[in-house]
């Protein structure tokens, strides 16, 4: 039997269309998320998502891990969003993961307004490694056309110039550059966390460092499930997904990027009360 993950693309798309239609019709009896994984992109969220989806006390979306409602699909409306989740059954906690939610300028306010009481999970990774990984990811998917990472970095200010203002001024405006070319900007974690803490409160936002999670997943997984109020349970194994191996960054470029992120990392350390692993 072919699994959903291994099915041909045309089968997946056909199934998604049928599922979305059925979901909209039955949206009134479907779940809404109790918690969201909001970022960061290329921070290990797929690995954590699958570990949490395996928990018997959770319910994931019917089609894919991220619905991307609060960032790029908000105009589709709440019935469309709710249609992506399973029918209400028992006491399971529904959730989804979209790495753009933390970075999108309108998503946090939409979430706090539409999902009162929702909890947020944030997984942070060394911003230098995250930026390089994001570049490779976007290049492989065709959203990046520059074959030089340094050239893409040099173009980022021009690509992002005015995009945040356009998004906030026009709720229907979708910015490809803001979503796909924010290599450095997404790594300014302190700025994004300050927004989340201000809207949701510190007690509803759980921050984990990807380096710590992958080095010793068990205690961090326990801390996350405890934060969510889930029964203590662990998967048989913690696997790593979506890694993109490549030659290391040139030393000079790594040094330059590390210096770029230094003031943001200092603000992050002050905000969380501990230095991130990549600065220890």
Give DSSP secondary structure letters for the chain: ---TTTS-HHHHHHHHHHHHHHHHHTGGGB---SEEEEE-TTSSHHHHHHHHHTSTTEE--SS-S---TTTT-GGG-HHHHHTTSPBP-TTPEEEEE-TTTTTSSSHHHHHHHHSTT-EEEEEE--HHHHHHHHHHHHHHHTS---S-HHHHHHHHHHHHTTHHHHHHH-TT---HHHHHS-TTGGG-HHHHHHHHHHHH-GGGEEEEEHHHHHHSHHHHHHHHHHHHTPPP---S-----S----PPPPHHHHHHHHHHHHHHHHHHHHHHTS--GGG-
The dihedral sign for the CA sequence 16, 21, 22, 24: positive
pTM: 0.89
Counting every residue written for the chain, the total comes to 280
pLDDT, tens digit (0-9, with 9 covering 90-100), for 132-184: 999 999 999 999 999 999 999 999 999 999 999 999 999 899 999 999 999 99
Q: How far apart are CA 268 and CA 278, in angstroms?
A: 12
In order of their start, the domains of the chain are: 9-279 (3.40.50.300)
- Can you give the pLDDT at residue 74? 97
- All residue ranges of the chain with pLDDT < 70 are 1-28, 242-244
Give the per-residue pLDDT at 15: 46
Whole-angstrom Cα distance, residue 105 to residue 178? 10
């Amino acid at each position: 039997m072919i699994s959903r993950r291994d099915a041909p693309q045309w089968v997946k798309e056909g199934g998604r269309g049928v599922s979305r239609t059925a979901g909209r019709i039955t949206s009134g009896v479907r779940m809404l998320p109790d918690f969201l994984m909001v970022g960061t992109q290329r921070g290990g969220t797929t690995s954590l998502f699958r570990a949490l989806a395996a928990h018997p006390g959770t319910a994931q979306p019917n089609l894919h891990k991220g619905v991307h409602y609060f960032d790029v699909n908000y105009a589709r409306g709440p019935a469309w969003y709710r249609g992506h989740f399973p029918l209400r059954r028992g006491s399971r906690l529904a959730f989804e993961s979209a790495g753009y939610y933390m970075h999108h300028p309108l998503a946090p306010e939409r979430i706090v307004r539409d999902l009162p009481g929702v909890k947020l999970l944030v997984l942070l990774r060394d911003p230098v490694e995250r930026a390089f990984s994001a570049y490779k990811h976007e290049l492989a998917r065709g959203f990046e056309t520059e074959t030089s990472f340094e050239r893409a970095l040099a173009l980022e200010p021009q690509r992002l110039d005015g995009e945040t203002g356009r998004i906030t001024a026009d709720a229907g405006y979708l910015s490809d550059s803001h979503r796909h070319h924010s290599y450095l900007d997404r790594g300014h974690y302190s700025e994004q966390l300050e927004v989340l803490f201000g809207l949701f409160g510190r007690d509803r936002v759980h921050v984990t460092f990807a380096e710590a999670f992958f080095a010793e997943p068990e205690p961090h997984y326990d801390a996350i499930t405890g934060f969510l109020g889930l029964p203590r349970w662990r998967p048989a194994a913690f696997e790593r997904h979506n890694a993109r191996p490549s030659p290391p960054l040139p030393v000079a470029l790594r040094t330059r990027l590390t210096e770029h992120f230094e003031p943001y990392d200092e603000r992050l350390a002050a905000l969380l009360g501990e230095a991130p692993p990549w600065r220890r």
